[in-house]
Amino acid sequence: MNPIQTSKFLSLVLRHKPEEVGITLDSAGWVDVNELLRACAAHGKTISREQLDDLVASSDKQRFAFNEDRTRIRANQGHSVQVELDHKPAAPPDILYHGTPQKFVESILGEGLKKMQRHHVHLSPAKETATKVGDRRGKPVILRIDAERMRADGFTFYLTPNNVWLVDEVPAKYLTVDNNSDKPLRRA
């Protein structure tokens, strides 16, 4: 597996289907590193400890984290299996962004942003990140979230180690379409 395939496979195992390699995650999403690597190898997906270290260190979005003594690993966010990640509540920036494909916008402006299959709605402090997220599934539209007003109204926000802001939902009244959404995405 190349690093992207390895990252995708570990995302599958550590977020969605640990049973794919016959492991279980603990209640906070952690699994013993040796157990994980043994289980992957037993299912034809050999990953060395060195490859894993490189992946955790270099992942563009810091998808995975080791515990302090580096004996356990988990996904930082994005799970569909039940886990308690213990992200700390924090005060968000005044404005956050969410990128979504055009086809979802009407529904979102009607019923708000829902967490769908994930545990939270994912929001970004940077428009560019939101654009990339929306761009995964079609022409992206950027939504602006009045996070300052949501916080004042009692919504709790959580910050992940990879700078994603999480919230249970965003009711429609806090959402507006960003005017510059239709600018083409500049690709590196």
Give me the residue whose beta carbon is nearest to ligand HQG.
100
- Binding residues (CB under 6 A) for ligand HQG: these are 61, 63, 78, 100, 104, 107-108, 111, 113-114, 116-118, 122, 133
Q: Look at the block and give the residue holding tokens 């926000």.
A: 157
Cβ 69 to ligand HQG shortest distance, Å? 25
Closest-CA residue to 40 (of 5, 9, 63): 9
Cβ 151 to ligand HQG shortest distance, Å? 20
Q: Which is nearer to ligand HQG, 69 or 188 (CB)?
A: 188
Radius of gyration, alpha carbons of the chain: 18
User: Taking the chain, what is the end-to-end CA distance rounded to the nearest angstrom?
Assistant: 25
Q: Which is nearer to ligand HQG, 113 or 167 (CB)?
A: 113
Contact 37, 47 (CB under 8 A): yes
d(CA 63, CA 24): 19
Cβ 7 to ligand HQG shortest distance, Å? 9
Per the DSSP assignment, residues forming a β-bridge with 72 are: 32
Residue 17, helix vs strand vs coil: coil
Q: Which is nearer to ligand HQG, 44 or 142 (CB)?
A: 142
Q: Which is nearer to ligand HQG, 58 or 107 (CB)?
A: 107
Cβ 114 to ligand HQG shortest distance, Å? 4
Residue 57: CA count within 13 A, CB half-sphere: 7
Cβ 21 to ligand HQG shortest distance, Å? 19
Q: Which is nearer to ligand HQG, 69 or 117 (CB)?
A: 117
d(CA 167, CA 181): 22
